[in-house]
Each structure stands twice: as structure tokens, then as C-alpha cells.
Amino acid sequence: MASIVEKNITSLITGLAHGLTTSTYVDKKGILQQLDPRTKVLGGLSLIILASWSHSTEILIFLYIGCLLLGLLSKIPLKKILHQWYILPFFSLFLALPLIFSFVTRGHEIVTFSYPFVFSITSEGVALAVRFLIRIATTVTIVQLVLLTTRWDFILKALGSIGIPHGFLFVLALTYRYIYVFISSALDMILAKKSRTVGKEKVSSLRSWIGALSGSLFMKSIVMSRDVHEAMISRGFTGKVKTLKTFSFQIADWVSLFIILIITGGAIVIR
């Protein structure tokens, strides 16, 4: 049991580190890689707003499938994009699950339970939960597509050029720089614990260790984030992101923004 939990924590942490720092798909010759980072940031934000605002399951499914296709056209394997379904339930299933029951969403009853009290699963509730999950999946996929096809410094510069305040970008840049150091530290702590553990460990003691790990990581994180911040300041970083690349809008960018405008307008009209 202990090793499964440990294994999951380790794979979650390394997966997060890899996901945040990988540049495998940035240089592929795909459709999204050809676009100006500003187009991707603006387009991505518009589609996220649309997905959050839309109450139509059809529109959400259309957006989700569209994102999957866009991913494939950007040379990102479907497996990589669908990987989110390993993590997604952890964060959203607990929120979505109560929606299916009659005590939260009233409607046509599909199944009725009589223990510990009388309640049912409603078709409206199931539709609501499914819509919620697709909305989350669509939003995560949009963010994932932008992150996987754009260098991080270009994203920051693009956010700056559309008017996001420098203070906010500074915090964002610092968080990104620091996360790998934080993750390495967490992995070291897991390894250090493993080297001092003999035999099978009780779940209760493992639970208390995870609590202690979180506490020490929090304390460490304060010191480490300060160090990373100082290292950035020391080399002239003031919050304004600079890159060698000069952004320029091409025909493909205008066409993409036009398509996004049509999709958004269409969704408003349908509603």
C-alpha cells in the first residue's frame, strides 16, 4: 500500500515537472506552432471564456473535439492530450458527483435509492455533471495546447503585450522558474525518507509523513522562492519579459482570430 501511494506521489510530481518544463512540441511544424504567441494567448482566452460561459452540451463537445483536432494538427499525440483524464477526476469528480443526485438537481429520476434515506439520480443531474466535466476538460485542453506549443517566455511576453500588468507577470514568471526547484526538493525528501524506511509501513504513519512533508515543503518553499527571485534580479530581471524573437502577425494569425470570432459569435447566437 505504502509503495503504491509513494509511487503515485512521485509520478504525479515528476509528471508535473515534465509537463511544466517540456519543450518537446514547441519546435514541431504544427498548425499552432506557426501562430504568433499573441494569437494563441488571445484566442485561448476567448475560447476559455466561451467554454465557461456556454450552457450548451453540444457547443462544449464541439469545442472539445475541435481542441483535440487542433492538438493533432499541431503534432501533439492524442495520448498526451487525453492524459489529463488521469488527473482530471481527482480535482473535478468530487465537485461533479453531487450534481447527479436529486437533492442537488431535481428532475426526471433514473435510479432511486432508499438507504440511508430516499434519493435518486436524475437525468438533468447527470447532464449537468457531464457538462461540467466536459467544460473542465475543454478549458484544461486549451491551456495545455497553448503551453505545449509556445515557449514559456513567449507566453509571458504575449501576456504583457495584451496589457497584463508587470507585477502579475513577475509573480507568474517566478512561480514557473521556482516550481522545478521545488519539485526536485520534494523528490529528494521522498528519497531521503525511503532510505530511512525499513519494512512495510502503516498507512497511518504514511499519512502523517505526507502531512509533515507538506509542512516542511512549505517552509522550504519560502526560502527557495526567495533565492530564485534573487537569482533573477541579479541578472537584470525587473518583471518585463524580453526575448530575442520579435512578434509579428501573419495572415494565419488574422484568419485564426477571425475563426475564433465566428465560433464565439455563433455560440452567442445559438444561445
Partner 1 sequence: MEQLLYDKMKQNITYEAKHIGFRYEKSQVLSDVSFRIQKGERVAILGANGSGKSTLLKIFDALLYPSHGELYFEDSLLNEKYFENEEREFAFRRKVGFVFQDPDVQLFNQTVWDEVLFGPLHLGLPESEVVDRANWAMDTLAISRLRDRSPFTLSGGEKKRVALASILSIKPSVWLFDEPFAGLDPRSQSNLLDFMINTHNRGETIIVSTHDIMLLNELADRVLVISEDHELVADTTPEKLLKQKDFMIQHNLMHTHMHTHGKKVHSHEHIHK
Contact positions toward partner 1, by CB under 8 A? Answer: 17, 21, 23, 151-153, 177-178, 180-181, 184, 224, 227-228, 230-238, 242-244
Q: In the complex, what is the shortest distance from the CB of residue 234 to partner 1, in angstroms, rounded to a whole number?
A: 5
Q: In the complex, what is the shortest distance from the CB of residue 14 to partner 1, in angstroms, rounded to a whole number?
A: 11
Q: Could you list the beta-strand ranges (E) of the chain.
A: 109-113, 119-122
Q: In the complex, what is the shortest distance from the CB of residue 160 to partner 1, in angstroms, rounded to a whole number?
A: 13
Q: For residues 243, 74, 38 and 136, what is the CA-based torsion angle, rounded to 10 degrees? A: -120
Q: In the complex, what is the shortest distance from the CB of residue 26 to partner 1, in angstroms, rounded to a whole number?
A: 8
Q: How far is CA 215 from the centre of its chain?
A: 24
Residue 67 buriedness (CB in 10 A; 0-12 / 13-18 / 19+): buried
Phi, psi at 164, each rounded to 5°: -70, 130
Q: In the complex, what is the shortest distance from the CB of residue 9 to partner 1, in angstroms, rounded to a whole number?
A: 19
Q: Packing angle between helix 57-73 and helix 251-270, nearest 10 degrees?
A: 160
Name which of 40, 38, 25 is nearest 81 in CA terms.
25
Nearer to partner 1, 55 or 240 (CB): 240
Q: In the complex, what is the shortest distance from the CB of residue 230 to partner 1, in angstroms, rounded to a whole number?
A: 5
Q: What type of residue sits at position 147?
A: L
Nearer to partner 1, 106 or 245 (CB): 245
Nearer to partner 1, 8 or 243 (CB): 243
Which helix (H) or strand (E) segment holds residue 2: the answer is: helix 2-21
DSSP label at 199?
Answer: S
Instruction: Label residues 47-64 b or e (16+ Cβ within 10 Å = b).
Output: bbebbeebeeeebbebbb
Query: Taking the chain, what is the end-to-end CA distance rounded to the nearest angstrom?
Result: 49
